Amino acid sequence: MAGIFRRPVLAIGLVITLSLVAVALLSLVWTPSLPSKMNIVQRLKPPLGPGGLLGTDQFGRDVMSMLMVGAWNSLSTSFLAVALGATVGSAIGVLVAMKRGWLELITMRGCDIIFAVPPILSAMMLGAFLGSGRFTAVIAIAVFMVPVFARLTLAAAKQIWARDYVMAAIGIGRSNGRITLVHILPNISNQIIVQVAIQLGLAILTEAGLSFLGLGMPPPAPTWGRMLADSQTFFAQAPWLAILPGLAIALAVLGLNMLGDGLRDVLDPRTRT
Amino acid sequence: MISILIRRIVSLVVTLLVVSLMIFSVMNLLPGDPAAIMLGTSATPETLAALRAQMGLDEPIVVRYVAWLTGMAQGDLGQSYTYGVPVAGLIAERLVVTLPLALMAVVISVGIAVPLGVAAARRHNGLFDHIAGAISYASIAVPAFWVGLLLIIAFSTNLGWMPAGGFPGWDAGLLAGLQALLMPAIALALPQAGVLTRVARSAVLEVMNEDFVRTARAKGLSERLAVWRHALPNALVPVVTMIGLQFTFLIAGAVLVENVFNLPGLGRLAYQALSQRDIIVMQDVVLFFSALVIIINFLVDLAYLVIDPRLRVAT
């Protein structure tokens, strides 16, 4: 841990991600003003003016407060989706690595197939019968994450199963389940952690896209994606409404990508360059 | 070679069938009777029953699935509930927007990524390499639809140089059509270019140390020729792979970007079908997009065989 500042990518990624998490958590207890509080007199005020630090939107709502709550909505949705996808996907991966054979073939082909349906489209299909909302977004993103983690853990677990100490464990009569718990999972957990960080970035991008299309959390909950969608009517008067939420998305994704790459260098030495 | 090809084609067909089954099952779990939605609340039970029969909704689900497949094999994708026209025609008419858009985006992203990647690799660890690396790294984090919004603000709202959206149709002339697609294509291309630049750079770096590049230099070729004629063609395999892998994200980006720019493409069609609960259109468009992703990756696989003769040996 002492060497963290010799790894600028990891350090910057960590700082950006932790700051966003802090802002998201802070929004649960405090925002400069209520994000849903309308004030028509102060509508479309530019940043750094009487409308507050980051200006106001078409209803006079405080953009900074909306962005803060948006951070919570975006991060929590993405985190739930990745947690679900990583759990299910990794479970499938280690179980299939235990059995191998035709099960492995089917799993790999199944992964290809799920991967072929873009998450935006599967969300639209799901949205049609679940209705739009956080649940739809979480499921749609998680469905896309399952094959990612299943493939990763299957490949990684297969390598561990071939190691001598696993052979020894089989030799002394340990059950497959126990070997998976004691030997396989601890040895592949680093790779899973790295992938979680990287997929979180992707989940935030997808969540933003879904909210932009109106398939995310319903109003009045502020989301970065819907703030962008709403900004389209006010390009001429209020360009900051289109710029700020996008910056927030890009910053969050950049931070998580850097965190993932930085963690990979530390935790996954084989890819170290 | 032939046996590899046959095996790949069989697996392609099986994959497409499973995808179609998956999409059909999801879409037919929809609550709500499409016939009732189409007719509105004032419909009498008789007209509703007549329409259900006409649309085949009374048939068992297996029969409907088989009918959907056999229809598709004959180029009949069914009738749109809301538009009242064949879906095949709808898709064809939207495809002439989405396909050129995706192609332009790929061309622009490769046009940015390959020269940038090569230049960065030639100045390995130099200032240019670091700057290009930082820019491409950051651009991966940027959502394509936001780039689209920024382009509209800059070039349409403020400068007035470009149309802010809409599509005049190809009848209005090639130039007008391309102009309408230019900003959406750039928006789609920029995040892709970031990914591709990184791949191109590391691929070129890897082959630059190979013997054949050293030979090319040793026989007195200029550095430029050694890189572009000898190193780059060998570095293209990972770039082509990445274009295939990124295609899912390109399609997802296109759905959003079409909505930003009000382009009458397939992504917008899917979005409209969703809001109108036009299940036939919805499942056809999703299947079409998924098939496109699968077929592109199939072609990428085949492209390896062309680019790299070593892979033609059956294993």
Q: Residue A58: its pLDDT value, please?
A: 77
Band of residue B150 on the pLDDT scale cut at 50, 70, 90? very high
Per-residue pLDDT tens digits for A167-188: 999 999 999 889 999 999 999 9
Q: How far apart are CA B20 and CA B25, in angstroms?
A: 9
Which of A 95-134 lie inside 8 A of B, CB atoms? 109, 112-113, 115-122, 124-129
Q: How far apart are CA B300 and CA B294, in angstroms?
A: 10
Average pLDDT, chain A: 86
Rounded to 5 degrees, φ, ψ at B156 are -105, -55
A34 Cβ contact partners less than 8 Å away, ≥ 6 residues apart: A62, A65
Cross-chain residue pair A246–B143, CB shorter than 8 Å: yes
Q: Residue B30: its pLDDT value, please?
A: 62
Say if residue A3's pLDDT is above 70: no
Which of B15, B30, B289 is opposite residue A118, by nearest beta carbon?
A: B289
- A273 within some domain: no
What is the percent of chain A where pLDDT is above 70?
Answer: 95
**Interface size, chain A vs chain B, as Cβ–Cβ contacts under 8 Å:** 131
Buried b (16+ CB within 10 A) or exposed e, A156-188: bbbebbeeeebeebeeeebebeebbeebbbebb
Residues of B in contact with A228 (CB under 8 A): 145-146, 149
Say if residue B311's pLDDT is above 80: no
Is ipTM beyond 0.90? no
Per-residue pLDDT tens digits for A60-78: 788 888 899 999 999 999 9
Q: Where do the structural domains in chain B lie, given as residue ranges? A: 2-73, 87-314
B260: exposed, middle or buried (C-beta count within 10 Å: 0-12, 13-18, 19+)?
A: buried
| Under 8 Å between Cβ of A82 and A199 | yes
Band of residue A273 on the pLDDT scale cut at 50, 70, 90? very low
What is the percent of chain B where pLDDT is above 70?
Answer: 93
Per-residue pLDDT tens digits for B246-263: 887 888 889 899 999 999
Band of residue B147 on the pLDDT scale cut at 50, 70, 90? very high
Q: How far apart are CA A117 and CA A51, in angstroms?
A: 43
Tell me how far CA of residue A259 lies from CA of A12, A138, A231, in angstroms.
Answer: 8, 22, 30
* CATH number of the domain enclosing A24: 1.10.3720.10
Domain span at residue A132 reads: 2-267
| Under 8 Å between Cβ of B184 and B264 | no
Which of A129, A242, A257 is opposite residue B30, by nearest beta carbon?
A: A129
Closest chain A C-alpha to B144 CA, distance in angstroms: 9
Span A203-209, mean pLDDT?
92
Tell me how far CA of residue B113 lies from CA of A202, B103, B194, in angstroms.
Answer: 21, 15, 7
Q: State the amino acid at position B245 in one-letter form.
A: L
A38 vs A89, higher pLDDT: A89
Interface test with B, best of A129, A199, A271 (most B CBs within 10 A): A129
Closest chain B C-alpha to A71 CA, distance in angstroms: 16
Of B296, B176, B311, which Cα lies nearest the Cα of B246?
B296
Q: How far apart are CA B227 and CA B230, in angstroms?
A: 6
Of B138, B127, B191, B146, which Cα lies nearest the Cα of A12?
B138
Residue linked to tokens 């994450």: A145
Q: How far apart are CA A216 and CA A206, in angstroms?
A: 10
Question: Which residues are paired to A49 by β-bridges?
Answer: A52
Which of B143, B249, B271 is opposite residue A208, by nearest beta carbon?
A: B143
Q: Residue A146: its pLDDT value, please?
A: 93
Residue linked to tokens 């749609």: A140
Per-residue pLDDT tens digits for A4-58: 667 888 999 999 999 999 999 988 888 777 777 777 777 777 777 776 777 887 7
Cross-chain residue pair A257–B248, CB shorter than 8 Å: no
Q: Residue A247: its pLDDT value, please?
A: 94
Which segments of A131-238 does DSSP mark as H helices, in order? 134-161, 164-171, 176-179, 185-212, 224-231
Q: How far apart are CA A120 and CA A141, in angstroms?
A: 8
Per-residue pLDDT tens digits for B74-132: 888 887 877 878 888 999 999 999 999 999 999 999 999 999 998 998 888 889 999 99
Average pLDDT, chain B: 85
DSSP B125: T
Q: Residue B39: its pLDDT value, please?
A: 64
Rounded to 5 degrees, φ, ψ at B278 are -85, 90
DSSP A232: G
The CATH number given to B87-314 is: 1.10.3720.10
Band of residue A271 on the pLDDT scale cut at 50, 70, 90? low
| Under 8 Å between Cβ of A84 and A142 | yes
Rg (CA), chain A: 22
Span B170-190, mean pLDDT?
91
Say if residue A253's pLDDT is above 80: yes
Q: Residue B152: its pLDDT value, please?
A: 93
Domain count, chain A: 1
The pTM of the full predicted model, rounded to 2 decimals, is: 0.88
